Structure 1
Amino acid sequence: MSSAPLIVLHQPKRLVIGAGSVGEVGNWAGAVSSALVIATPITAGFVDRLKLPGKVTLFDAIPGEPEIETLDAALAAARAAKPDLVIGLGGGSVMDVAKLVAALWDSEQTLSDVAGPNKVAGRSTRLAQVATTAGTGSEAGIRSLITDPVKGAKIAVESPHLIADLAVLDPELTYSVPPAVTAATGVDAMAHCVEAFTSKRSHPMIDGFARMGIHLVGKFLGRAVKDGADREAREGLMLASYYGGICLGPVNTAAGHAIAYPLGTLLHLPHGLANAIVFPHVLAFNAPVAKDKTAEVAQALGLGQNLSQADLSAQAHGFCADLGIEMSLAKHGATEADLPRFAADAHAIRRLMDNNPADMSVDDVLAIYRASF
């Protein structure tokens, strides 16, 4: 790369990493009178570990892919609680909702007012993000994605006002994540790194984070899938996920995520799983254009050296399948007739497609869905 583009990096004001670090949230919070914890029914079990003072309100009705009505319900809970601290306790969906609740609960702005980049007017409520999966890296970033069920598309909000005051990476919170979810979310973290690394908008600084993330996934994902209580592996994956979150900020993802999104919005697949299914095909498609970087990715993941496109795709497919990920779209309920709609929707997500190192036609996208079928 001849000259790097200008980038702006936003990171949480404070980052706490390590086993047991969830207990630091209460100390950091200080004398809060009212805290609102956004969670899922599963992650709600960790609320006591936050050691929060004062009144704590729990909102745990967050599904896998949060929709507009989820956000509206969370905002209603916040308006009743009047929190001075909002805490996201969960994976990406939970943390994405927490960002918007913290910014909007006491604001005149609505979701449609803030959709897109830099529309959020401000935020007066403190925000802590406590990750319980190692995948989205949402705790690191300034974006929030909410699904519009009518359009079958994701609404992206991006603003420096969505960055956390405190982010916590406690590997003990991920011990109970099942192997299948560990595998899919780990591939999602890796996809964030790989797509930013090979992007048209790649940047030397972000490349460093991406390389670290890819290496950590190559080293630790298999171990964490085999033994959920492997602390070193769990901590390594939380760091990989965080690095992936940093990659998302200034550079963002590319075709892989664009192709994964319709599988989430229309087929209702979990985001990590959708990314894993298309990952091998997109990696191979981009290989001729991003040759050196793709070779680096292949080496970090132990896929081999000097691979042809077909071999690269097969090896990357094997990497995911060996983690126990079901890689066939047909097995997940897709039909052959769905694929053209998926392809049209994915191809239209220009904010990501335009970052891809190799240009993709609608037919190219359709071919990737067919190969994943």
Structure 2
Amino acid sequence: MSTMDRKITLHQPKRLEIGQGTAALLGTWASGAKRPLIIASAPTAHYADRLGLTGDVKTYSDVPPEPAVGDLEAVLAVAREVKPDLVVGLGGGSVMDLAKLVAVLWDGTDTLYDVAGPNKVKGRKTALAQISTTAGTGSEAGIRALVTDPATKAKIAVESPHMLADIAILDPELTYSVPAAITAATGIDAMAHCVEAFTNINAHDLIDGYARMGFNLVGKYLARAVENGKDTEARAGMMLASYYGGICLGPVNTAAGHALAYPLGTRLSLPHGLANAIIFPHVLAFNESACTHKTAEVSAALGLNSGTDLTQSAHKFCADLGVEMRLSHHGAKQADLADWAAEAHAIRRLMDNNPREMSVDDVTAIYNAAY
């Protein structure tokens, strides 16, 4: 069934650079910047020297894997001292999400809670560059940012075209040092973005094209990138897959898979990609009956067996990449699963996108199957 006549809005960065060595192009692009603020994490801060930035460059490198409101407030305090004319996100999704929020909040009075939700950001005066160092979230492509509320452990989502990057750079050299396990988990996250948008009730022909390109690239390149971290072609292929997944998130978004992954991230402190990898086989199989043809297309791209053994086949795909798929091995207690299921089920902004209705009992069953 065609969906191309349904209204859709697609946002992309004003400029995209992709390829080996492209990180160095930022300095030329940003030649007029006098006070660049680079937001990074401890593992990515050393890449700052590759960007070619001039002026009074400051680097903030204390972004944790799953930032909470206090982490955003800490970097905002630094930004208000620096008064940056350029904000650079140099890292994975968490880093780039904070960079988006800093760029739109540092010079105003609005708090995160004031702009939570869609289209509440008033504007942005500061230039924003996003330099990805992983291949998973696709945050460099999108207009959303997520931060954890420490009180509720829920994700606070902000969405605004004002958070779109002026330039995004995908340099595969910056992903060479990503460990194999993280490469696998983040790659599955990229795949999940594409698959969940592809099978979404809000799916659109335009986004289906990006999703197809994304999960086909994952099928072709993820195992290679895990096996050899310096396989530049595979690394570039995965960065592009991640970027396509980021495009999918804007107009369509994810569905039950990500809703189920979020409590695992906040309750177990699991990296987002790992949480999605654990959930992916179960939700793919759960949704198969509601989107048979599209699930078959995904399965073919990934080399999976559709039908009764789809869960097992998708589980093997992830496990063969080196992902530890058992929640029990990540500190989960079976007694907590029902509460986490209720929490996941309540994330209606995602669950309502799912092609097949999923009850709290269904979520609990998936968590138990993954235990």
Alignment match, 1:251: 252
Aligned equivalents of 2:79, 2:332: Cα separation in 1 = 37
Query: Which residue type is aligned with residue 185 of structure 1?
Result: T
Paired residues of 2:178 and 2:229 also in contact (CA < 8 A): yes
Task: Summarize the alignment of residues 41-120 of structure 1 with structure 2, pairs less than 5 Å apart.
Answer: 41-120=42-121
TM-score scaled by length of structure 1? 0.98
Alignment match, 1:36: 37
Aligned equivalents of 2:279, 2:296: Cα separation in 1 = 18
Alignment match, 1:138: 139
Aligned equivalents of 1:320, 1:39: Cα separation in 2 = 28
Aligned equivalents of 1:23, 1:352: Cα separation in 2 = 37
Aligned equivalents of 2:69, 2:214: Cα separation in 1 = 31
Alignment match, 1:238: 239
Paired residues of 2:3 and 2:203 also in contact (CA < 8 A): no
TM-score scaled by length of structure 2? 0.99
Answering whether residue 226 of structure 2 is matched by residue 225 of structure 1, we say yes
Task: Summarize the alignment of residues 149-164 of structure 1 with structure 2, pairs less than 5 Å apart.
Answer: 149-164=150-165
User: Could you say what secondary structure the match of 1:233 adopts?
Assistant: helix
Alignment match, 2:350: 352
Alignment match, 2:360: 362
Query: Which residue type is aligned with residue 179 of structure 1?
Result: A
Alignment match, 2:271: 270
Aligned equivalents of 1:214, 1:41: Cα separation in 2 = 30
Query: Which residue type is aligned with residue 222 of structure 2?
Result: L
Query: Which residue type is aligned with residue 277 of structure 1?
Result: I
Work out which of the residue numbers 330, 339, 342 in structure 2 matches 1:341. Answer: 339
Q: Which moved more, 1:245-254 or 1:4-13?
A: 4-13
Identical aligned residues as a percent: 67
Q: Which runs of 4+ in 1 moved over 3 A?
A: none
Aligned equivalents of 2:43, 2:295: Cα separation in 1 = 37
Query: Which residue type is aligned with residue 249 of structure 1?
Result: G
State the shift of 1:2 in Å.
Answer: 4.6
Aligned equivalents of 1:204, 1:285: Cα separation in 2 = 23
State the shift of 1:3 in Å.
Answer: 4.1
Per-residue CA deviations over 1:213-265 (Å, capped at 9, x if unaligned) read 00000010000100000000000000000000000000000000000000011
Aligned equivalents of 2:3, 2:243: Cα separation in 1 = 26
State the shift of 1:118 in Å.
Answer: 0.2
Aligned equivalents of 1:33, 1:231: Cα separation in 2 = 33
Answering whether residue 315 of structure 2 is matched by residue 317 of structure 1, we say yes
State the shift of 1:152 in Å.
Answer: 0.8
Query: Which residue type is aligned with residue 336 of structure 1?
Result: Q
User: Could you say what secondary structure the match of 1:78 adopts?
Assistant: helix
State the shift of 1:327 in Å.
Answer: 0.3
Paired residues of 2:3 and 2:205 also in contact (CA < 8 A): no
